[in-house]
Each structure stands twice: as structure tokens, then as C-alpha cells.
Structure 1
Amino acid sequence: MWVFTFAHQHKMLLVCTRGLYKPVSVTGEVSLFACYHKTHALLRSEDSNIKPVVRRRRSVLKDLNKPVASDHERSAVSKTWRNEKPGLQTRDDYRVSSELRKLCLEDSEDWERPARQRSTQDSKADDYEIVFGIAPCVLALTQGRRKARKLFVKDGEASHRASVLKVCEEAHRRGVQVQRVSKKDLDKMSAGRVHQGVCLQASPLNYLTEDSATKRKDNTTPLWLVLEGVQDPMNLGAILRSAYFLGVDRVASSLRSSCPLSPVVSKASSGAMEVIGVYGYENLEDMLKLKVAQGWQVVGTVGAEAEERQIPVTRCSDFQMTRPTLLLMGGEGEGLSEKLLSLCQSLLTIPAGRDLFPGIESLNVSVATGILLHSLLSSRKST
């Protein structure tokens, strides 16, 4: 009887295993497949027990004593292997049918199409801005001055409020898509501002030009509000809201160093920016000279403690508006420029109701504008 040590047994197994790798008349894939399954358990780490190794060796030797498969059987096995493991086939052994190739191309196009659509949507989104708030969204939809693209509504119970439903109805009536989103998405769209559960993707609203001016229909003395260098969007929005409420005929603004007509302005105006006409001028000085030549009067504004000027300063409550008037309001801090002050025929001031401490002897520009507009429009006469 032959007595083998574990080292000799392991060596014989390796010799038998090498024999499995000799070229066979079947395809390379089948021989490798057989070698893998018959030697996977043998080529383990040295920590394996002796009995399992010997048991596997006997199974290998038993399989080697089997008769060699015929050419027909080997071809059948090779075909089965190709069908089960197509990923390991060579280009010559396995060919994709035209139908399957077409299906793969269609799938790849479906994967690529959303990316192309997103890029197209992103490029389109650059031409739009986000209007937020109930009143701005409703007026932006109803006035027709913007091109609305999509309405985003907060998902949940908030979408059932009457004010939100009104916005959705206006959007649906005009064929604007309505999409429910989370509050987090709306907060991101509105940059954390108060959106009241709705945001509207729409085209920007720009300053109007003289070419788009419309004729007045009533017989009252016209009043134009002229703004120079108002930069705070909250102030501009509040001014537009007061001007619309009190009945100003036109708001004119300098285009340089002034706040654009942004969604923040629209929200601060409670949507009045969507209704009232705001005209932009590159040169306010030329426009004022033209209106003076047409018989209009130019009225400026100064503080109660302003330095003495050759132009008379009148309390706003004592001023009577008897002819077409342009009321000039300066920006925050600096007020009216010297060029525009030189064109004024009268200066108005708002008297204080008490002795004021230094630093708080003036009013916010939007508050002052509201007081002056109310005073002038209350005194104007019919023409």
C-alpha cells in the first residue's frame, strides 16, 4: 500500500489539475468553464482540512474516468454556455441580432434623452425668472405683460386655500402647467423670501419706453412720479404700490444706478408692478426739459432742514397742483442730484411734527413719496 503525506497528496492534485488545462477539442470557453468548476474548491488556502481536499480529489479523479464527450455533445454544451453566459463570448462566437441591437440603441437613446431635455430646459429657464407671492402671480397671469411658463404650488393642505386655488385656476385658464412641489423647493426658488405657497416661472418684466405710451382718457391734471437712483427693491416696490393706489399717471425712473423691475420689487409692491406702467429713461434731464417746453411744471423734494436755495421751498400741504406736474424723488441717502434740482421750479418739504434728534430727521423715501403724492393728488384740479 502506498502511503502519501499531505504534501504528496496536494502535489498530485495540482498535477491532475494541470491536466485539465490541456487543449481539448471543445471551445476555449467550455474548457475554462470546466476547469473553473473542478478546481475552484481545490485551489483554496492552505487552511483547508485534509478530508475535504481528499474528497474533492476523488471526485476529480472520478470525473476524469468518464468517457470523453462526442463532438455533437461538446457543441451542444458550447451552445448552452453561450446562451447562459453571453458576456464572456468573443465577437466571432456570439452575434447580436439586428432586433436586439436596435432595442439596445433605443434604450440608450431613452437614457440620453432626459439629459438632453434637462439641458434644453435649463437653457430655456435662463430666459425666465421666478415671480413669487399670491398677488404678484395672479396679476402676472392676468395682465398679459409676461409670458408665463409654469406655476409651482406647495404640496399639502396649503394648496387648498382659496387664494392658492385662485392662482391655479388662472394658470389653468391660460394653459399654464401647474406642478406641486415641496416647501423646500419653493424656498429655494424664492431665495428664502415669503412666497405664500406659489411661484410662477415667467418672462422678465422690463421698463417701458416712450414708444409704448398710451393716451390718457380722463380730464384730470396729469401727475408723473420721477425717480432718480432708487436702489432698494423694497423701497421701489412700496413706492409703486402707493403710486398705483393713489392714482399716479406714470412712474418714470432713471435706468442708471436704479433698481431693476425684479420679482422682489413685484412682491414688495403686492403685485402693483405688474399693473402700473414704469418707464425707463437713459437721461432724465432731457426728458424733463422736453416736458417743461410742453408746459409741465417740475417739482422737487428736500428735507425740512435743507440748505437755502434760490428755488422756493413750500410745505406739501400748502401746494396746489393746477397744471401737469412731474414730482421728482431722489434715491436713498443722496437725494436728488444737482442737475435735476436745477431744473425744479418748486421744492416741496414735509414738516416734522416734533423736534428731531440728529440722524433721524428724515423719512424713508417710500414713506415720503406716499405722503407727497397724497398731498398733490388731493389738491389737483380738473382741466
Structure 2
Amino acid sequence: MWVFSMSHQHRLLLVSRSFQQPALVSQFASYHVTAARLNPEDSSSRIKPVVKRGRKVSDGWQDRERPFQQRQWKNESTVLQKPSQRMGDDRRVSSELRKLCLEDFPSERERPVRQKSTVDSKSEDFEVVFGISPCLLALTQGRRKARKLFVKDGEASHRASVLKVCEEAHKSGVQVHRVSKRDLDKMCEGRVHQGVCLQASPLRFLTEKNTDSAANIKHNTPPLWLILEGIQDPMNLGAILRSSYFLGVDRVASSLHNSCPLSPVVSKASSGVMEAMGVYGYKNLEEMLKSKATQGWEVVGTVGADAGESEVPVTKCSDFKMTKPTLLLMGGEGEGLSKDLLSLCHTLLTIPPGRDLFPGVESLNVSVAAGILLHSLMFSRRSKR
């Protein structure tokens, strides 16, 4: 009985060494158990080495099982072969399994040859616009001089939105290049490009020379201009432009000093609105405000809920009624409007909070506050009409 146990343990040890091939464990285990039961008297003795065709095989069971192992691994390795090696064996593997295999081994994919074209980093007259909407509007609005369009290589290039951008590029005579995702990431410094980047000339702030006088009387309603002072975060500026365009603001103007430029980041944050809606720039906002005030425009500033005492009357935005041409002033993220501009305001608007506020969160993000105030003023203008 003791001899049988030792022999059985010895054979289980052989089985444990074969765990590197998990698909064969069950076959090996069943073989040893059956052999031990049929020949218990031989279980204590080792199988003598067998010389076969000039080669020494250590164990007879390995000699008998090796062809079976080879067949098993040959069948399983078929799935992992390259497409050029499978040849006629493709019929044995489903299309879904082949697709999964190719996704697990991207180096084996059959990719079209990409055009090795990158952005000319030495050119200072061009910048990289990224994102579906910014690229599409940059191509259709014609305010930029487009140079090259870069599209992510692969299935993503067949999306309807990407094809639309490529179509507009072809219409404008802009070269289209297929590049890798890594190349696109480098072009836009790791930002979300949605598979497209456009090398084009930069956008500048507009001046009074670009003013369209007919825009102010387009709907026989008093115009509303949004005046920004010291907005430094491009994400905030982009969000403000998007809200202004959506709500129907007639003009957006910004101070040129201490403000962020009209960069591709602003364009992406605005969902491309910056490509269609011109933004005016002023070196001296005080002179412009004084000039508009003499023409009958109402200058309206904005303050937080904890503005305290002020010589200028403070009104809730919901109580203000827009009855004449209006300039709405919004200050920067940190300090708000400067004292010089606050002194020129006829009234100040505030957004009342809906609860008692903890210290440090007494105000809203400037882009959120701009959306609320613009909606309130535009609603009062429509109700007046």
C-alpha cells in the first residue's frame, strides 16, 4: 500500500510539471490514474528507458503522448499566426475571432502606408487648430488661410464628421494627410483632437474698421455687447463665446491688455464658435465706454453677491429690463472689474444665490455667470419687443 502511494505521488508530480500546457492536464491525469489501477503491481517500478530509432526517451508515456501534444499545439497556434501564414486555415477560425486576435496584436494589422507629413514647426505664420467643429468651421468660414489637414489613420477616418471635414478641405484645395494618433497628439500637445488637426493661419482680434453698422439694427432691437476685461483662462473665454453666440449677443469685445489671445484652445473650448464669430479687441476700454455712453448706450457692470456698499446701484439680474443699447461688462477670474471701469457703469448687476454660501465659494465661474446674465438680458429684450 505504501509503495502504491509513492508511485501515485510520483506520477502526480509528473502531471504537475505539465501544467505549462493547461489544455492537456485532463488527458495526462486520466492516463496515469488508469495505468495505476490496471497494473498496481507495476506501479512501484519505473518504466525503463526505451531506445527508439537511435534516440533515448526518458519515459515511455512521454513518447506515446508527444504526437498528441504536437497536434494540440499545432491546432491552437493557428489562431496566433500572421494573416500571411494562415492561408487555407482561415476557414477554421471565425471572423470575430480573427478580429479579436488582430486587436490584441496591433503590430500584425494590415495598415495602409501612411504619408510621412508633419507640421512645419519653423513656420511662425501658422498654428494648429484641432477638433471636428473648429477645423470644419475654419475651413468653411474662410477667415483663416488653411495649409494642411491631418487626419488620424484607421477606421476613425471613416466617420461621417471626419469625412465632412476632409470634403471641405478638398473643396478648398487643402492637402489631406493621414498620420498616426501619436503625431496628432504632438501637434495639439496632448489635447482632445477628435482625430483631426488643421494647420492654418492664426486669428486676430477685430478692430473698428471691421464694424458692420447694419448688424446693430438687424432685428430692430437694441443691441447688446459683451465687454470682457482681463479674461486669462482660454477655456473660460471659449465657453463665453459659445454662450454669447447661442444667445444672440451682437458683439463680443475684449481688452488686449492682460487677456488671453484667440488661440486654438479657445476655439476648441468654444466648439468652433470663435471661427465664425468675430471678437473685437480694444487697447483702451475706458475710451470706448465713454464714447458709447455719450451716444446713449447704457453701461452695465457685474459684481458678486457680496459686493458690499457701492456708489453705483446694484440690481438683481432678474429685475433688470433692457430698454436701450447696452454694454454688459464682465471682469477677470480673480479680481473682477477694475475700479476704473466700475466708475463708468450706470448700474451693476448681480446673481443672487439660492442658499447661504460657505466662505470661499461666494461667486460663480465667470463663464457660467456670463451665460446667466446674458440669458436674463436677452429675455428682457425679447419680452420688451
Q: TM-score range by the shorter chain?
A: 0.5 to 0.7
Output the CA distance in 1 between the equivalents of 2:150 and 2:211. 33
Q: TM-score, normalised by structure 2?
A: 0.67
State the match for 1:130 in structure 2.
128
Matched, 1:365 2:366: yes
For 1:11-52, what per-residue CA distance to the aligned partner results, in whole angstroms no more than 9, with x for missing partners? xxxxxxxxxxxxxxxxxxxxxxxxxxxxxxxxxxxxxxxxxx
State the match for 2:229 in structure 1.
228
Return structure 1 stretches of 4+ with deviation > 4 angstroms.
120-123
Matched AA of 2:190: G
State the match for 2:278 in structure 1.
277
Shift of 1:307: 1.7
Task: Give the aligned CA root-mean-square deviation in angstroms.
Answer: 1.4
| 3-state secondary structure, aligned to 1:328 | strand
For 1:243-275, what per-residue CA distance to the aligned partner results, in whole angstroms no more than 9, with x for missing partners? 000000000100000010000000000001111
Matched AA of 1:312: P
Output the CA distance in 1 between the equivalents of 2:201 and 2:161. 23
State the match for 2:220 in structure 1.
219
For 1:67-107, what per-residue CA distance to the aligned partner results, in whole angstroms no more than 9, with x for missing partners? xxxxxxxxxxxxxxxxxxxxxxxxxxxxxxxxxxxxxxxxx
Output the CA distance in 2 between the equivalents of 1:359 and 1:121. 46
| 3-state secondary structure, aligned to 1:260 | coil
Q: How many residues align?
A: 264
Output the CA distance in 2 between the equivalents of 1:198 and 1:247. 29
Output the CA distance in 2 between the equivalents of 1:121 and 1:194. 21
Matched, 1:317 2:321: no
State the match for 1:11 in structure 2.
none
**1:31-180 superposed matches below 5 A:** 123=122, 125-180=123-178
Output the CA distance in 2 between the equivalents of 1:220 and 1:309. 31
Shift of 1:372: 0.1
Output the CA distance in 1 between the equivalents of 2:157 and 2:318. 47
Output the CA distance in 2 between the equivalents of 1:258 and 1:126. 21
Output the CA distance in 2 between the equivalents of 1:277 and 1:262. 13
| 3-state secondary structure, aligned to 1:253 | strand
Output the CA distance in 2 between the equivalents of 1:376 and 1:126. 41
State the match for 1:250 in structure 2.
251
State the match for 1:50 in structure 2.
none
Output the CA distance in 2 between the equivalents of 1:277 and 1:165. 27
Output the CA distance in 2 between the equivalents of 1:219 and 1:203. 36
State the match for 1:82 in structure 2.
none
Output the CA distance in 2 between the equivalents of 1:327 and 1:168. 39
For 1:173-229, what per-residue CA distance to the aligned partner results, in whole angstroms no more than 9, with x for missing partners? 110000000000000001000000000000000000000111212211100000000
| 3-state secondary structure, aligned to 1:380 | helix
Shift of 1:365: 0.1
Output the CA distance in 2 between the equivalents of 1:254 and 1:170. 34
Matched AA of 1:267: K
Matched AA of 1:150: K
Output the CA distance in 2 between the equivalents of 1:239 and 1:131. 19
| 3-state secondary structure, aligned to 1:172 | helix
Output the CA distance in 1 between the equivalents of 2:182 and 2:356. 48
Matched AA of 2:143: R
Work out which of the residue numbers 193, 196, 199 in structure 2 matches 1:198: 196
Output the CA distance in 1 between the equivalents of 2:274 and 2:166. 21
Residues 267 and 121 of structure 1: CA distance in aligned 2, closer, same or farther (over 3 Å): closer
Output the CA distance in 1 between the equivalents of 2:181 and 2:121. 21
Output the CA distance in 1 between the equivalents of 2:290 and 2:361. 34
Output the CA distance in 1 between the equivalents of 2:323 and 2:246. 21
| 3-state secondary structure, aligned to 2:186 | helix
| 3-state secondary structure, aligned to 2:261 | coil
| 3-state secondary structure, aligned to 1:304 | coil
State the match for 2:47 in structure 1.
none
| 3-state secondary structure, aligned to 1:351 | coil
Return 5+ residue gaps in structure 1 as ranges.
1-117
Shift of 1:356: 0.6
**1:18-29 superposed matches below 5 A:** none
Matched AA of 2:254: S
Shift of 1:140: 0.3
Shift of 1:121: 5.3
Output the CA distance in 2 between the equivalents of 1:328 and 1:320. 16
Matched, 1:288 2:289: yes
Q: TM-score, normalised by structure 1?
A: 0.68
Output the CA distance in 2 between the equivalents of 1:362 and 1:178. 46
Residues 273 and 121 of structure 1: CA distance in aligned 2, closer, same or farther (over 3 Å): closer
| 3-state secondary structure, aligned to 1:186 | helix
Shift of 1:310: 1.4
Matched AA of 2:201: S
Output the CA distance in 2 between the equivalents of 1:293 and 1:143. 35
Return 5+ residue gaps in structure 2 as ranges.
1-116
Shift of 1:332: 0.5
Larger-gyration structure (1/2): 1
Output the CA distance in 2 between the equivalents of 1:181 and 1:303. 48
Matched AA of 2:126: Y
